[in-house]
Structure 1
Amino acid sequence: MESALLAPQRQSMIVERVRRNGAVRVAELVEEFKVSDMTIRRDLESLADRGLVSKVHGGATAVDIGSTDEPGFAAKSVREKEAKEAIARTAADLVKPGEAIALSGGTTTWTLAQHLIGVAELTVVTNSVPVADVFYRSGRTDQTVILTGGIRTPSDALVGPFAVAALDTINVDTLFLGVHGISASGFTTPNIDESETDRALIRASRRLVVLADSTKWEIVGIRTIARCEEADVLVCDSGLPQSARDVFTDRVGRLVIADHPNEVTR
């Protein structure tokens, strides 16, 4: 009889083991998870397609993710689509008509933007070209979109002194922040210029909501954007391992698991 673990949970645990040990073997995973050889091979194939592991004969090895590596927007947009969709649906429930919100750059915030088109009289501040484009293309006349200036990054975010100067004059109710990595030490990015702009977004907001899929656990970029304790809410998907849940339940204002919004709260 196969394990009762769902595929996303099992795959998240496999990624965690690969990152910790550098490599895993199919036979070891079959024994550990009590599933078939074919199931594990499908898991590894899926993880390799998403760029989370490198598939080799008989197992998988870690992908070298440097602290300054920054995939482009198009590359990131096809990763963890189901998890990002679940996170976006849950985060959208935190937005009320008439509010002023900010959305940082990233594919998870871009997914969230698509869920916010129907929110009436919304004011959106963003440094993300794709996020702004979602609202512009909606054709709504009761929503206001403010796009900062700045230098464009590989993730299609606008950063630098012009973006920071614009954000230092703005106040919003909630910031929805996409991040590159999450760990016990906080939320990080591989782009130093983007970190300064993200910090300006945090200064402009009354509430910080961090959006991160579970594959970002224990990824650490070169620059810290915020400590765990600065986040009022962290929204993640059900693949987040228990070790991470324990950390964030203690350190963030509220941890929300997107597939089960009331599963872990404080």
Structure 2
Amino acid sequence: MQLATALSSPAEELHFGRAAVRLHMAQPPLSQSIKRLEAALGFPLFVRTQRRVELTPAGQVFLTEARRTLQQADESVGMARRAASEDLAEITVTFTSAALYRVLPAALRAHRERFPMVEIRLDERSTDAQLQGLLEGSIDVGFVTPPLKTASGLEVEVIDRDRFCLAVPRMSPLAKRNPVSLAELSNESFVLFPHVQGPSLHGQLMRACRQAGFVPRVRQEARQMHTILSLVAAEMGVALVPEGARSMRVDGVAMVPLEGMPDDLTWDLAMVWKPRSARRALVAFLQTVRSLRRS
């Protein structure tokens, strides 16, 4: 018999006899159980008269806390069962900002429809920080910008590939051009993501500019795509951004076609995970992402 039930029944019935009937037991064992509890606690839980019983102030507090403890215990059991279930597991997903305007939002919506009880924890991190978390086991899957410096023990799958375009202030003469050659940007200031956020892609962009005859003058760095475009709108410079960024529609920014970029230079998005620790819940999420991949 639960402690809260043993206390609440007499308190609600105001009579040990009726409480015993409600609990499907004899009255003497119920009365004796409560007396033993009071003796152990060192204070009375009930005020008894010939006609009725009622909780003392201390008894009321004790009953409230006992109910709360039991509720927390039930919740703990539910959480443990949920964690033990492969279908209802929690997965941790990390990402770079570029994933937010590409496949990730659609994947989260689709997976929530398929598995509404699955908890997905999200955390924005640089590519290098994601790789570290994956190797340490604190992350289930990451959305990163390849190529990767190292991926030992990790599975990498490209799920989206974008060509580059040029983001310029709307009042810039370049906003009316179609297209703009990369070589024409030698005198422009640039807004670019920091090297640490995507070392390989950052290096590829620098090489492409050098091949076009100039070293880009980076005036401002920013991690998030929306911040990059907002700085372009503020006329801090131009930016080399993926075509998918057109969907963001930041006021004061014009997206212009770009030519002169190497044919193999694309802004790729890949998901990366550790195959040896891939649980069923993670495999299901990977399948959801693949189902949304652009052809």
> Is TM > 0.5 for Structure 1 vs Structure 2?
no
Larger Rg: 2
TM superposition score normalised by structure 2:
0.27
TM superposition score normalised by structure 1:
0.29
Say which structure is richer in helix.
Answer: 2
